Each structure stands twice: as structure tokens, then as C-alpha cells.
Amino acid sequence: MANIKASIITIGDELLIGQTIDTNSAWIARQLNALGIDVVRRIAVGDNVPDIRKALDEEIATCDTVLITGGLGPTADDITKPLLCEYFGGKMKVDERVLEHVKEMFIRRNRPFLERNLKQAEVPDNCTVLFNRMGTAPGMLFERNGKLIISMPGVPFEMMAIMEDGVLPLYKSRFKSDAMVHRTLITAGEGESFIAERIADIENALPHYIRLAYLPSLGMVKLRLTGRKENEEGLIGEVEAWQRKLHERLANIVVAAEDIPFEQILGNLLNEKGATIALAESCTGGYISHLITQVAGASKYLKGCIVPYLIEVKENVLGVQKETLGAYGAVSEPVAREMAERVREKLNSDYSISITGILDVDKVEGETAAPRTAWIAVASATETQAKEFRFNHDRIRNKESAAIMAMFMLWKFIKGRP
């Protein structure tokens, strides 16, 4: 079965100058990949008619479908819709259903309907309108020589709504691709080169229709197996058998056998144990708490978070002894241990995490600890463990890394792993 090829074109000067990060392409690519559609190219072009036309010519010539985002608003720099109308030889018309929807949205928002907003209801007469329940700019579907060209707004949640409501169902009915099966293992605490060496024989034994990808991120490496065959029969079982082999080999570093963020991995473990946690975050400023509360149902296990950023707050609010702070400094093992123990006691939780450190590249006056250093401690009613971590990046990356390391440290502590 021939693979279906897709291309994604994102439009907007803001993408080229780095003012806006293109998250649309990544989301679209994941949805298409799940359908077995190959994204062969991703292109960003500015608000420039010749460049957009050139991109359309090239991508339509080589792909079965082209997805375009951006340039569908009511302002002067939103040029995609008139350009596509001309490109496909149509004329603009008002779509009554879209017009009614646009007016209703302005009424609900208690805003006046301006004449320029009438443009939102204008569409080429040779396109199929893709309704946008989340916004005022509809998507558009054009066909040329059996190929599908789809244009959507650049606003991510509007694009997602159009994809889910109209585009993905269309692709499922129109394109018949090879069966594709993904399985994932998430590891923590070991780099991808070390992992690759440990599983080299397994990777070399994979059949040609099953591929292994290494996807490193902060503190973790995701291993993704992808199986692709014309017939799905037996493929799921095959991919899962290889997943089990990898899991057995890497058992000491595998933290999950599904594609979920680490805060959810930790939350699942706490739910499984019926346990609660409390946090004392100094240098991360509540970032660990932020991550944990990204997961629905976190209130079942998160008691709360204290952010003792200043020394006096560590002492007067959290209860760290003045003598400990004076003798060892705020960034030290004894202080991290006391922080973890005090916050667990104050919030009456089963477990706790504390972190104190200097995540900047520069040394802090009056502090003996080196820059880009953190002490992390975890505690239960019977035991406290602490460990020093050193980081190599800027302040933001170091904060993100420290948060993952802290959650991983608690996960190992609860699991009884060294």
C-alpha cells in the first residue's frame, strides 16, 4: 500500500522572526502520524504572496495533501484567503452559516460587530467550508487532481477544533494507509548513548517494519517503537513483544510504559499507594507544584507547597533551625533535609520533596555553594534522603531539570530503588 504524503505550511512573519513558536506543526504531525500519514515536509513562510504561491506549487506537486495554517484573520496582513481564492480560480462569497456564527460570537462576547468582521464570513465559492466552533475564521478545503489542500486559522485551539471536527474524519474516510502501531517506554536517570549500548543487540534484531526512536528530554529518554505494515493483524502483538524485551533489559531505569509526562507518572504512583505529598521549593519557586497540578485529580495527593525563597522564610515559616542555616548555609544538605522534614510535618503528608539551590550561572554573595547547584531531599515519616545535583544550562533550563530530578528522586524513594 502506497504511503500517503502530507506537507504542512505555516504562514506568518512572526514565525520567521521567532516572535511566535510554531506549535501547530508539531500537533498536526502527531495527528497525521497516528493515521499512518507521512509528513514529509514542514515549511514556514512569511506574509508574502510570491513565497506562499511558490510553497503551494512545490508541495501540491509532491504531496497527497497539504495543510496550511495562518493568515485567515480580518486584518490587512491576513492574506491567505484571497490568495487561495485566486490560486484555485474562485470568487469570494458570503457564507450565511459562517456569518450567523460570527455574529453570535460577537453577541456572546458583548462586542460590537464591525464591518471588517464581515470578511470572516467571506469564503471562496469553490471551497468546502470547514466550520470553526472555537472562533470566527472558518477553515477551507480545496481539491485539485485528487489532492486535498486544507487551510486553517493559526490560532492553535481553533486549528485543533477544525482538525478534530472536519479534517481528521475526512482523512480517515478518504485515505487508506498502512497500519501503524506505537508503543513507548519512558526511562529516567541514564543518557541515550548508555541506553543505546545496553540494548544494541535488541535494536539490531528488530524486523525492518519495526523502528526504534530515542527521544531525549530533560532528565528522561523516551523509547518509541513504531510498527508499520499493510495488515494490522499480529502487528500489535509483535510490537508489544519487543517492548517487553526492552523493558526487561532496562527495568532499573524504566518509569512508565506509556507516553505520559513525569508528573503524571508520579501522580499515578501516589494514587496507587494512596499517599500524599507536600513540597518546600526554594530555588524552583513552586515550579514542581505547577507541574504536579497540571494533572487532573492532583488534589487527591498534593497537600500543598511552601516557597521559602528567603532565609527568614525558611526559618520563621518552614521551621528550619537558625543554627543549621548559620552553620551550613541555605544551599546545603542539612537545610534540604530539615526543609523536607518540616514541610511534611506541617502539612501532614506521607511524603515530601524539598529543594534549595542556586540555579543561576553566577555565584551568590554570602553563599558558599557553587552556582548551578541544588540540594534535593525527600522524606517519609521514617526516613530522609538528600542528594546534590549540578546543572549545566541557563536558569530556566536548570529549573526545569531540577524539577524533573526532584520528582524522579521521590519516585525512586517510594519504589525503594537506589
Q: What is the mean pLDDT of residues 188-197?
A: 92
Please write the tens of the pLDDT for every residue from 305-347.
999 999 999 999 999 999 999 999 999 999 999 999 999 999 9
| Cα separation, 86 vs 327, whole angstroms | 75
| Cα separation, 67 vs 356, whole angstroms | 47
Q: Using an 8 Å Cβ cutoff, are 247 and 254 in contact?
A: yes
For the four alpha carbons of 120, 124, 125 and 129, in that order, the dihedral sign comes to negative
Contact residues for 388 (Cβ-Cβ < 8 A; gap 6+):
333, 373, 374, 375
CATH number 3.90.79.10 given to 179-256: no
pLDDT score of 77 more than 70 = no
pLDDT score of 115 more than 80 = no
Q: Which fold has domain 262-415?
A: Maf protein (3.90.950)
pLDDT score of 119 more than 90 = no
pLDDT score of 1 more than 70 = no
Closest CA to 65 of 8, 124, 129: 8
What's domain 4-174's architecture? 3-Layer(aba) Sandwich (3.40)
Query: Can you give the pLDDT at residue 17?
Result: 94
Cell 490568495 locates to 83
Query: Can you give the pLDDT at residue 409?
Result: 95
The residue ranges of every structural domain in the chain are 4-174, 179-256, 262-415
Query: Can you give the pLDDT at residue 11?
Result: 95
Query: Can you give the pLDDT at residue 74?
Result: 67
| Cα separation, 180 vs 235, whole angstroms | 8
Contact residues for 187 (Cβ-Cβ < 8 A; gap 6+):
195, 220, 221, 222, 223, 250, 253, 254, 255
Query: Can you give the pLDDT at residue 311?
Result: 93
3-state secondary structure at position 45:
strand
Identify the DSSP state of 317: I
Query: Can you give the pLDDT at residue 180?
Result: 85
Please write the tens of the pLDDT for every residue from 135-181.
888 999 999 999 999 999 999 999 999 999 999 999 999 988 778 89
| Cα separation, 159 vs 27, whole angstroms | 10
Query: Can you give the pLDDT at residue 296?
Result: 96
| Cα separation, 302 vs 314, whole angstroms | 20
pLDDT band at 76 (very low <50, low <70, confident <90, very high): low
Neighbour-count burial of 372, counting CB atoms closer than 10 A to its CB (0-12 exposed, 13-18 middle, 19+ buried): buried
Query: Can you give the pLDDT at residue 75?
Result: 67
274: alpha, beta or left? (left if phi > 0; alpha if psi -120 to 50): left
Query: Can you give the pLDDT at residue 107?
Result: 83
Secondary structure element (H or E) that encloses residue 336, with its range: helix 333-347
pLDDT score of 275 more than 80 = yes
Please write the tens of the pLDDT for every residue from 346-400.
999 999 999 999 998 777 666 677 889 999 999 999 999 999 999 988 899 999 9
DSSP for 204-248, please give it: HHS-TTEEEEEEEETTEEEEEEEEEES--TTHHHHHHHHHHHHHH
Please write the tens of the pLDDT for every residue from 244-253.
999 999 998 9
3-state secondary structure at position 397:
helix
* 262-415 matches 4-174 in CATH topology: no
Contact residues for 82 (Cβ-Cβ < 8 A; gap 6+):
92
| Cα separation, 230 vs 239, whole angstroms | 15
Neighbour-count burial of 67, counting CB atoms closer than 10 A to its CB (0-12 exposed, 13-18 middle, 19+ buried): buried
